[in-house]
Structure 1
Amino acid sequence: MTVSDTESHQARFNGPGRITRGDLMGAARKIVENRSKEIRCLATPLIGFQGRSEKEIERRLAMYVIGWDFAAEELEEKYTALIDSGNYERAAGLAVFHGDIDRAVMILGRAKKENFRIMSTAIAAYTSMGKTSENNAWKDHCRELSSDLDDPYLRVIFAYIADANWYDVLDDSSLPLRERLGVALRFLNDQELNFYLNKVAETVIERGEIEGLIITGLTEKGIDLLQSYVDRTSDVQSACLMASFTCPKYFQDDRVEHWVQSYRMLLNSWSLFAVRARFDVARTKLSRRIDGLIQTKRVPRQIYLQCINCHKNISKTSNKNTDSQAKFRSGDDSKTRSNGGGNKSGVRHSTVCPHCGYSLPRCAICLISQGIPIPKDVISVDNYENGLTNNATEAIVKAESKFKEWFSICLSCNHTMHAGHAEEWFSKHWVCPVPDCDCKCNNI
């Protein structure tokens, strides 16, 4: 994130439980100090910005983020790893980016490809001709060669040695953004660096380049970048997951909420309900601020038991008019809707819908209507008869007994059972207990 971007959003992060600029600088200074301790243990100097800067902490933190805060020993290890993997072009480019032209000549000179060895000879002439102001044939040749090369690292090497201008490197968009940022952080002064970062930020936002988040951060500008990325790729999942780390924890944005709803609907359409639920839980945890306040709205209940007649939630109490109608209807058909015979008083039972009075389905195993307590299992009865003294054990037994009376509905064949009966049945069988139904309910 650029310096100006940080300052422009400072007000957004102020307030109870929010991060201030002082907090950011304190955390940045601590990271830089810890990194300095690691470098001192290596007993090699840090290769950083060559000059004075009022933003030294920010520069060093930025180089740490992009992986460019090399100590001399670490840089040598990087060269070795690239050479061993046959990536001579990038190793030579990395040497030039750190101002070590002689090392780039040596790397290309040891390559197996003859073209690389010829290029090393041309680069070696930089030490004798590159610093002269004459527009000689050698510089013209380097410029022509730079425009003809396909590899971005070799192209920027010859572009730089032709004019000794770092902007020839910074303006090459085919070079990875991290490499360009590393060069800018090492060689540009504060004013030039700030201008360059803002320019690059505008470019990556317009193009929707996801790598540009290392400049914008997950700020409002970062959301602009993610929106361009979604418009270009339709990858709402990546945008949603990344944005959830800061929105709504630090700021609100309607676009993020739209991505979230689209992503949740997508997961539901694929029947990935468990994945969607884990996403909801994780996003809620990410929205918790330092003061413990959660910024996301509670996700409403999405699953409830629905009457097959009126399609209303049977767990909700109906209003007076509907309640009277249910009483009237339950009184008309009391034999089928009560568990004890008559229902002359018109009082509703738990075996009927509270809205329309329609009978609830029966358990496919015991044929008892759902909503009626089923006999407790032998273990629970024995425990109660023996007189348990452990309150925790009693609570567990009660909870287990209560759970066994819950509705258990197969989402494939729609047959229903008591949860306890379903558990017992599918411990010995594979198919649905309803005759002529070959659904393997337990494998759905």
Structure 2
Amino acid sequence: MTDHADVRVLLVAAVSSGQGKTTVTAALARALVRRGQRVRVFKCGPDFIDPMLLERASGAQVGSLDLWMVGREQCRSQLAAAALEADVILIEGVMGLYDGTPSSADLAREFGLPVMAVIDASAMAQTAGALVHGLRDYGPVEMAGVIANRVASKGHGAMVAASMRDIPLIAILPRQTKTLPERHLGLVLPSEVQDVDGLLDLLADQLEFDDDAWAKLRSTRIDLTARVEPPAALLAGRTIAIARDAAFAFLYPANLDTLRALGATLAFFSPLADDAVPAQADAVYLPGGYPELHGETLAAAARWRGSIRAVYAAGMPILAECGGMMALADSLADQAGKVWPMAGLLEGSVTMQARIAGLGSQGLETPHGLLRGHTFHYSKLETGVAPMAHTVKHPSGASGEAVYRAGSLSASYFHAYFPSCPAAVAALFSRSEA
């Protein structure tokens, strides 16, 4: 077998958030799939919701690429795996091209990836060229081309194209009358959007390609020998029960892959459907999500609440992240101020607030190494429980989120990226260590 593959790879970036990176990446992925291309998509940086939409658009699982949270070797390994099965690899950047430590530009330079700039052209014409040249030259990065979003007319598009000089305008996406709905943590979950596939098809239909410019884009040579050794099967023979529904939807696919690689069997259940914790479970994982949107339903889910209390009383390890922790507090006050009783495993009350309460990459020091991840929440927990530890913010090194231990429960606003330290994850789900 050859030790490399030549694949068209594009890092889709912009000058800032709000330019339409996710919309353009989704439209591009769906358009290419409909052309018979095999497309794999990644998201740069910590994110749960955008990858769900990109998965829907491309028809394939979306992974995360981040030089700090995921790490260079894991990034390299994922690109190698994708190159074996894709004609095109799209990577949606995070925030602006040079924002963050590390940034999307850092990722592009690390792996020699060409950048496709997305610009919101709705309030500019020829200045678009100055913007894109600045994006290219500041780093610098290799600028493969531009996709202009929210273009008003053919004449407007022609002015934008002329301003690019030596950088090709690959495609134009007109102003959209129907857009992807958003809420406080980002886009609405694709499963909640009526006819989301129809909307993705519409976006793909509206994407006006310059086929000649697209055909001239270069391929990137991907090293196929880059592989990360699987972890030891530290959870062999154990079943992890995982909450999975609209209230507990923030879950990295890589986290599930890591649990399976550790030897665990996964059993999914829905607290919103008032499912009990599966009887065969040896541990429980409650990921983040939107419990604040489902307070009434969770409060009325007597079977769910009774079962999580029972396994907690029996000493079963429970890991609750962000929304999962919120659902285990005594109460949850939603955005309207309505207070709902929750499962009551962690003393305290959760209140939603208008301002963001936590955002950014963080790591948790453990006896097994640094468990990396991030935080992003609008709620606040008031509790008398003393934190067992705090995460450390990256890159500042400042104290981050509180990590609570109450009996067999480990809870925090911190979202862990499990592949960053599988041994620490295994310990969290092991009765002897938890």
Question: Does TM, normalized by the shorter one, top 0.5?
Answer: no
Structure 1 or 2: more helix by fraction? 1
Q: How high is the TM-score relative to the length of structure 1?
A: 0.21
Bigger Rg, which one: 1
Q: How high is the TM-score relative to the length of structure 2?
A: 0.21
Structure 1 or 2: more strand by fraction? 2
